[in-house]
Structure 1
Amino acid sequence: MKIGVGTRVWQYAVFTVFAFIGLYPVLLMLLSSLKTNIDIFKNPISLPKSINLDSYHKLFDQLPYFEYVYNSVFVTVVSVAIILVVGAMASFYIARFNFKWNGFLFFFFLLGMMIPIKLGIVPLFMLMRSLNLLNSVGSLICIYTAIGIPISVLILTGFFRTVPSALEEAARIDGCSDFGILWRVIIPLMRPALGTVMIINFIQVWNDFFFPLIFIQEETRKTIPVGMLTLFSEYSADWSVLFAGLALSSLPMILLFMLASKQFMEGLTSGAVK
């Protein structure tokens, strides 16, 4: 069935409108970071009269912004790496080894998605205090890993079950161990699924505000979302500096999605078309 030229024009017009709606807040954030606070209040949606980088200079002078960036990068990279490793091994076990407790084990991981972890914030706080992890990025890594593993197991188990078992049998004939099969045969075929898991967890960890606010008190150990809270005073806020910090903090997510968007889309649509 061929699509007419008029229909295609309408489709592109609708897609353009939705793209503009989605990109407009990002554009407004970038433009506001180049304005002064007075210009932001007078003309919030207008173009800046001139390129003003004072807000970025103030950001680096007033806040230990690079320490915030380092903390966010360290927590995010370590958490996502652990989630990918543990999630891949657990999913491979559930999908490929038939034991009587596999169904219960899979349901046990899914419980992590059904029960909101924020309901247990008091026991979590007491646990981190007993482990001497309060005011440490280690507490954030533990929590984000626990949050990310259930959805990772859910996604990766489904993908593992779509991989033909004949590939594993051929690898075993060649003398490959179970770990070798996972690392050398299955993982290269699972890049779309792994890319999907990586992006989902990266965005969740990078943007999280709640847990760093609870577990981190020292200024130099804060992540970007909590560190930017310093710009809010009791009666006012330095909006230009705030927008500058938000603009810089959004760059890693934009770059990650640009680099891994192909794998992400393949992971979302895999299995939808026979």
Structure 2
Amino acid sequence: MYPSLSSPGRPALRASLIHFVLAGYTLLALFPIVLVLINAFKDRPAIFDDPLALPTPDTWSLIGFERVLSKTAVPMFFGNSLIVTVVSLALILLFGAMAAWALTEYRFRARRVITLYLAFGIMVPIRLGTVSILELMVELELVNTLAALVLVYTAQGLPLAVFILSEFIAQIPQDLKDAARCDGVGEFKIFFQVVLPLVRPAVATVGVFTMVPIWNDLWFPLILAPGESTQTITLGVQQFIGQYATDWNAVLAALTLAIVPVLVLYALFSRQLIRGITAGAVK
């Protein structure tokens, strides 16, 4: 007889298959990061002889970090990326949460129009408007300034932030908000003291999903802020890549420094991120 579809072994087999696929995807995603990290601490011959080998006492070298930190402006590039990312992230989370609260809590005529407008912001890539954005920044005299990048990244991240936060805010019991209003609590206090603490997993999820594309972006820094004093870390690394020769020790060291903030952010907010992604999956 054929085994029943509801046999006890099938859930375990299905779970094992899912874990196998997820483990394979994890290894595939982590492989480039591990490859960069292990080769950043090796000398140049060892990088080309065996790029998959771990550093040994004979191949260990910090020459790439010495060049990056002492002979280039990479620390300044790193600071530029940090400023742009932190300011953009703060604006996206603040304005995104406030817009999500307004669209979820209040009923007004333009509500559907604004929702549709934000939906277009998700569906249409912002890079399609690069020429118009550049013309606007030239008219505002913001070319080669960090403010230009902050404005673009804020506009880029707001639509997704509003939609994610709206779904979480809508799940907050209405009785809780009405009780605060009955106690004389103002709308701003309800938003900052009642709503935001309850949607922290969603805020962490939006923060991670927004921070990574901003930190890794090369397109807009190359177009809007290519000056020596406004380059980001992603753009600054390109100076080590030449037409005829590439300083791979410096490139890998700079990439390692660029990876660290993303890993630290994920380590700090991984629990909130997982809660935000899985919220609503099980009722």
| TM-based fold match above 0.5 | yes
For the pair 1:46 / 2:56, whether they are aligned, the reply is no
Partner residue in 2 for 1:29: 36
| CA distance, structure 2, for counterparts of residue 142 and residue 248 of structure 1 | 25
SS at match of 2:184: coil
Partner residue in 1 for 2:27: 20
Q: Identity over aligned residues, as a percent? A: 34
Root-mean-square deviation over aligned CA pairs:
2.0
Alpha-carbon shift at residue 7 of structure 1 (Å): 8.2
Partner residue in 1 for 2:5: none
Q: Which residue of 58, 61, 82 maps to 2:67? A: 58
Alpha-carbon shift at residue 8 of structure 1 (Å): 7.4
| CA distance, structure 1, for counterparts of residue 186 and residue 14 of structure 2 | 54
Alpha-carbon shift at residue 24 of structure 1 (Å): 2.4
> How do residues 160-199 of structure 1 correspond to structure 2 at under 5 angstroms?
160-199=169-208
Alpha-carbon shift at residue 101 of structure 1 (Å): 2.0
SS at match of 1:273: coil
| CA distance, structure 2, for counterparts of residue 148 and residue 16 of structure 1 | 30
Write the deviation string for residues 178-215 of structure 1: whole angstroms up to 9, x where unpaired.
11111111100000110111111110111111000001
For the pair 1:88 / 2:97, whether they are aligned, the reply is yes
Q: Which residue of 211, 230, 235 maps to 1:226? A: 235
| CA distance, structure 1, for counterparts of residue 115 and residue 121 of structure 2 | 11
For the pair 1:104 / 2:113, whether they are aligned, the reply is yes
Aligned partner letter, 2:108: F
| CA distance, structure 2, for counterparts of residue 173 and residue 72 of structure 1 | 45
| CA distance, structure 2, for counterparts of residue 109 and residue 94 of structure 1 | 11
Write the deviation string for residues 128-172 of structure 1: whole angstroms up to 9, x where unpaired.
011110000000000000000000011011111111111100000
- CA spacing shift, 1:197–1:9, aligned 2, 3 Å: closer
- CA spacing shift, 1:65–1:14, aligned 2, 3 Å: same
Q: Once structures 1 and 2 are overlaid, which stretch shifts more, 169-178 or 96-105?
A: 96-105
Q: Which residue of 117, 133, 142 maps to 1:133? A: 142
- CA spacing shift, 1:150–1:17, aligned 2, 3 Å: closer
| CA distance, structure 2, for counterparts of residue 177 and residue 154 of structure 1 | 24
| CA distance, structure 1, for counterparts of residue 12 and residue 114 of structure 2 | 53
Alpha-carbon shift at residue 48 of structure 1 (Å): 2.6
SS at match of 1:256: helix
Partner residue in 1 for 2:245: 236
Q: Once structures 1 and 2 are overlaid, which stretch shifts more, 200-209 or 7-16?
A: 7-16
| CA distance, structure 2, for counterparts of residue 14 and residue 157 of structure 1 | 32
Q: State the number of aligned residues.
A: 274
| CA distance, structure 1, for counterparts of residue 169 and residue 244 of structure 2 | 54
Q: Which residue of 200, 208, 228 maps to 2:217? A: 208
| CA distance, structure 1, for counterparts of residue 262 and residue 270 of structure 2 | 11
Alpha-carbon shift at residue 9 of structure 1 (Å): 7.2
SS at match of 2:229: helix
- CA spacing shift, 1:272–1:9, aligned 2, 3 Å: closer
Partner residue in 2 for 1:117: 126
| CA distance, structure 2, for counterparts of residue 198 and residue 10 of structure 1 | 31
> How do residues 229-268 of structure 1 correspond to structure 2 at under 5 angstroms?
229-268=238-277
Q: Once structures 1 and 2 are overlaid, which stretch shifts more, 246-255 or 50-59?
A: 50-59
Alpha-carbon shift at residue 65 of structure 1 (Å): 1.2
- CA spacing shift, 1:216–1:8, aligned 2, 3 Å: closer
| CA distance, structure 2, for counterparts of residue 128 and residue 259 of structure 1 | 35
Q: Once structures 1 and 2 are overlaid, which stretch shifts more, 129-138 or 37-46?
A: 37-46
Q: Mind listing any 5+ residue stretches in structure 2 that lack a counterpart?
A: 1-7
